[in-house]
Amino acid sequence: EVLCGDALQSTVAGNLLWSTSRDTQEGIDATRLLNARSFPCFCIIVHHGSQQTVQLKLERYTDADECLAEIIYGVQHADQTLQYNRERRTMSDSRGRLLQEQNAAYLDSVRADQEKAEQRLREENERRKIEEEQQRKLQEFAVFRDRLKQTLPSEPSSTENETIQVSIRLPADDPIRRRFRRNDSAKLLFEFAWTNSNVPNQFELLWGYPRKRYQYDQIGDETIGDVMNGTTETCYLEQIDEDK
């Protein structure tokens, strides 16, 4: 009757967190832990750190007002423990937020390092591809130059008609000279130059007045007679970038 009174109902009913029956195993365990001797047994249990303390235990209910007063008294005297728990919870929340921030910063750092590593790997792969391509081109051109040395047509004799004496001046070496037939392909000027080890892979030849620039790939079916008029001609060789 006391526990069912209006005063206790309005105060306790909305704040009752847990209850059990002594007819259940849970109730038997609670009875033993709380050392309850009569029923119903009303307890206020406070948590202090990892410990649980019985702040109030009521086993006799003689008067509703007296019972309510004891409950209020028990709650008030649990304030220190409750305050401790609130501070611990606040501290735990702060540590949790700090840990989250640290974890987020760590993940951002790891992500940034990973992106940098992936970027370095891409750059290294690209650089290696470029180097491999350059090396492949050099090897192919070395084979091309060796083939030119073996297949270059023989030089016409000095008594042969319709020939042109060509001198090719190199940037840092003595000129190289050769006679050509006027009906030889103009590309033969470049192919002859490539048989000399001092000549770079990529170059232009300049001749005429005013001087014109010629590149191997830009010469079509022209013959030497088409691009040179006299019986002698001086060409100037200039190296160009490998990518051109």
> Residue-wise pLDDT tens for the chain (244 aa)?
555 666 666 666 666 666 777 788 887 887 787 777 776 777 777 766 566 777 677 767 667 677 777 777 777 777 766 677 777 778 877 888 888 888 888 888 888 999 999 999 999 999 999 999 999 999 999 999 999 999 999 999 989 999 999 999 998 888 999 999 999 999 999 999 999 989 999 999 999 888 899 999 999 999 999 999 889 999 999 999 865 5
Q: Is residue 207 assigned to a domain?
A: yes
Q: What is the pLDDT of residue 143?
A: 94
- Give the whole-angstrom CA distance, residue 211 versus residue 162: 23
- 223-241 b/e (C-beta count within 10 Å ≥ 16 → b): bbbebbeeeebebbbeeee
| Residue where a domain terminates, one of 31, 58, 77 | 77
DSSP assignment letter at 155: P
Q: What is the pLDDT of residue 192?
A: 96
- Give the whole-angstrom CA distance, residue 65 versus residue 95: 43
Q: Is residue 109 assigned to a domain?
A: no
Domain count, the chain: 2
Q: What is the pLDDT of residue 66?
A: 75
Cβ partners under 8 Å of residue 66, min gap 6: none
The CATH number of the domain where 172 resides is what? 3.10.20.90
Other beta carbons less than 10 A from residue 24's beta carbon: 10
Q: Is residue 195 assigned to a domain?
A: yes
Burial of 46 (0-12, 13-18, 19+ CB in 10 A): buried
Residues of the domain holding 19:
6-77
| Residue where a domain terminates, one of 43, 77, 111 | 77
Is residue 55 within 8 Å of 77, Cβ to Cβ?
Answer: yes
